[in-house]
Amino acid sequence: MDQLILASEECDVVNEVICAPADVKELFEFTDVIFSIGPLGFTRTIILFFLAAFVVVGLLYFGLRKQRMVPSKFGVVIESLLDFVKNGIAKDIIGPEGARYVPYLTAIFLFILVGNLFEVTPLINFPITSRMAIPAFLAIVTYVIFVFIGFGKNKFRFLLDTVWPKHVPIGLRWLVGLIELVSIFLLRPFTLAVRLFANMVAGHLMLTLLLGSGVIFLSAFPEIGLKALVGIPWFALGLGIYLFEIVVSVLQAYIFTLLSAVYIQSSVHFEH
Amino acid sequence: MQFLIATILYQEEGESSSNVSLVLPETAELIAGIIAFAIVFFFVWKWALPTLNKTLETRQQAVSGELAGAEKAKVEAESLLSDYKAQLADAKSEGNRILEDARVTAEQMKTDLLAKAEGEADNIRSKARDDASAEKSRALSDARTQVGDISVELAGKIVGEELDADAHQALIDRYLGDLETL
């Protein structure tokens, strides 16, 4: 949104009815290096990556540091979040073996949750998960974990039984095997990453276009007169989407974590 | 749905080919993302979850300890209560016994007192009767003595004035008069 408002001079409020940047990348790529540590140049995006990490660490630290018999209200929220991942996701989906994956699942859930909620956080207004680096990396980690466990627990049966599923009628076996092979080893990491990425890109795009257009048109009232009223529906719609995006942020963090757990579960209990 | 909108918007831009880079992670961001996630992961793994587990364990121990303490206190209170109840029952029966004793004693005392009072009254009455009879006999003997004296005196007077009928009469009258004045 900052970008769009800064670019309001470029918006042709006289001829257009909505302000869109010339290139969608303008909304997502911040290439200005604010400071550098060694070879790593810190752009706004990268600073937000670390901010998200420190927000998670901070929330956990302040929620858990005092070991009290009766936890504070904030402590209860943090404890129930952790309990939700531990019991609601890890143990429910994976079973007793799920305990081993609780640290990973908790870390991705909280990191993605905070990263997503940056989309609707005032002054930040940018979901770090809309940068492919985060979803891609986390999806690859999940992929490595479930493939590693699959082979570790089942040796090469993991691959063989996937390609040649014995519970399927022999005529269809090659077809199902092919679909399974592609789905498990190629599509899973891709869909996992793209689902999160695309949701956050779309959300950020809608919020910036609608809220940005609303503000730009309404503030152009002296120049364009009544046409400035076009900004009202944009702004109203933008506020509606804003609330919707809060739900999307939480939901996508949950879905990513849940699917990671489901994939791990399918390798832990690989029985065909 | 959202992805569709995003796709449409990309197409509206008419630069979908150049937006491929949006879908590919940037190297610098990838490195930063890995480091940022690693911070979160290690903090969760090494600090947050162990701390939470420790907290939950201490809390559990404390709760079960308190429960055991409460159970002990309850048992103590119950035994104390039964003690008190037994003591109370004892005290009650003791009280009843004392009361009964007192009642019996009082009854006894009443009977004794009554008997004593009656005896005393009898004594007083008999003493009064004796006194009265003694007085009576004394009065009788006094009266007897006086009547004798009076008779002797009267006889003397009669003897002294027998010569004269008139005197005789007068004597009788005087005697009668004396009797009246007596």
Query: What average pLDDT does the segment A163-174 reach?
Result: 82
Higher pLDDT, A272 or A220: A220
Partner B, chain A 177-196, Cβ-Cβ below 8 Å: 194
Please list every residue in chain B whose beta carbon sits closer than 8 Å to the beta carbon of residue A77: none
Task: Say if B55 is an interface residue toward chain A (CB within 8 Å).
Answer: yes
pLDDT for position A165: 81
Task: Say if B36 is an interface residue toward chain A (CB within 8 Å).
Answer: yes
Amino acid present at B105: T
Cβ-defined contact of B51 to A67 (cutoff 8 Å):
yes
Q: Which residue of A46, A107, A110 is in closest CB contact with B29?
A: A46
Domain of residue B150 covers 26-181
pLDDT for position A137: 95
pLDDT for position B14: 43
| DSSP SS3 for A20 | coil
Quote the tokens at residue B60: 């559990």
Cβ-defined contact of A131 to B59 (cutoff 8 Å):
no
Q: What are the φ/ψ torsions at residue A220 (nearest 5 degrees)?
A: -90, 15
Cβ-defined contact of B43 to A60 (cutoff 8 Å):
yes
A109 CB-side CA count, 13 A: 26
Task: Say if B70 is an interface residue toward chain A (CB within 8 Å).
Answer: no
The one-character DSSP state at A8 is G
Task: Say if B8 is an interface residue toward chain A (CB within 8 Å).
Answer: no
Tell me whether residue B86 is in a domain: yes
* Interface with B, mutate which of A72, A84, A106, A249 (most B CBs under 10 A): A106
Partner B, chain A 205-234, Cβ-Cβ below 8 Å: 205-206, 209
In which band, very low, low, confident or very high, does the pLDDT at A6 lie, cut at 50, 70 and 90?
A: very low
Would you tell me how many other CB atoms lie within 10 Å of the CB of residue A10? 11
Higher pLDDT, A126 or B2: A126
Tell me whether residue B174 is in a domain: yes
Tell me whether residue B2 is in a domain: no
pLDDT for position B18: 52
Distance of CA A88 to the CA centre of its chain: 19
pLDDT for position B50: 93
Q: How far apart are CA A187 and CA A180, in angstroms?
A: 10
The one-character DSSP state at A84 is I
Task: Say if B163 is an interface residue toward chain A (CB within 8 Å).
Answer: no
Tell me whether residue B90 is in a domain: yes
Q: Which residue of A41, A103, A201 is in closest CB contact with B45?
A: A103
Task: Say if A255 is an interface residue toward chain B (CB within 8 Å).
Answer: no
CA dihedral A67, A70, A73, A76 (to 10 degrees): 70
Task: Say if A64 is an interface residue toward chain B (CB within 8 Å).
Answer: yes
Cα–Cα distances (Å) from A89 to A83, A133, A194, in that order, read 9, 25, 21
| DSSP SS3 for B14 | coil
pLDDT for position B20: 65
- Chain A residue at shortest CA distance from B13: A23
pLDDT for position B122: 93
Tell me whether residue B157 is in a domain: yes
Work out how many domains chain B is built from and give that number: 1
pLDDT for position B12: 47
Please list every residue in chain A whose beta carbon sits closer than 8 Å to the beta carbon of residue B10: 24
Burial of B16: CB neighbours in 10 Å, binned 0-12, 13-18, 19+: middle
pLDDT for position A27: 79
* A167-171, A175-179, B139-143: least confident range: A167-171
pLDDT for position B163: 57
**Mean pLDDT computed over every residue of chain A:** 87
Task: Say if B32 is an interface residue toward chain A (CB within 8 Å).
Answer: yes
Query: What average pLDDT does the segment A106-114 reach?
Result: 96
Q: Where are the beta strands (DSSP E) in A149-221?
A: none
Residue found by looking up tokens 């930063």 in the block:
B32
The one-character DSSP state at A66 is S
Tell me whether residue B93 is in a domain: yes
Q: What are the φ/ψ torsions at residue A42 (nearest 5 degrees)?
A: -90, 105
pLDDT along chain B (182 residues), means of 10: 48 49 83 94 94 89 91 94 95 94 94 93 92 90 83 76 66 76 69
Contact A178, A162 (CB under 8 A): no
- Chain B residue at shortest CA distance from A104: B41
Query: Of the spans A171-175, A254-258, B64-68, which averages the highest pLDDT?
Result: A254-258
Give A21-49 pLDDT, tens digit per residue: 777 777 787 777 888 877 778 888 999 99
Tell me whether residue B147 is in a domain: yes
Query: What average pLDDT does the segment A221-229 reach?
Result: 81
Query: What average pLDDT does the segment A143-149 reach?
Result: 93
Return left, alpha or beta for B46; rule: phi > 0 is left, psi -120 to 50 is alpha, else beta. Answer: alpha
Residue found by looking up tokens 């909280």 in the block:
A110
pLDDT for position B17: 44
- Chain A residue at shortest CA distance from B4: A202
Please list every residue in chain A whose beta carbon sits closer than 8 Å to the beta carbon of residue B43: 56-57, 60-61
Q: How far apart are CA A215 and CA A234, in angstroms?
A: 9
Work out the minimum CA distance from A164 to partner chain B, whole angstroms: 33
Task: Say if B9 is an interface residue toward chain A (CB within 8 Å).
Answer: yes
pLDDT for position A8: 52
pLDDT for position A13: 73
* Interface with B, mutate which of A16, A19, A23, A32 (most B CBs under 10 A): A23
Write A193-196 long-range contacts (CB < 8 A, 24+). Answer: A193/A132, A193/A135, A193/A136, A193/A138, A193/A139, A193/A140, A194/A135, A194/B23, A195/A252, A195/A255, A195/A256, A196/A112, A196/A129, A196/A135, A196/A252, A196/A255, A196/A256
Cα–Cα distances (Å) from B125 to B110, B121, B122, B133, in that order, read 22, 6, 5, 12
Task: Give the bridge partners for A35, in sequence order.
Answer: A42
Q: Which residue of A133, A199, A205 is in closest CB contact with B29?
A: A133
Closest by alpha carbon to A34, among B69, B90, B32, B37? B32
Burial of B106: CB neighbours in 10 Å, binned 0-12, 13-18, 19+: exposed
Tell me whether residue B16 is in a domain: no
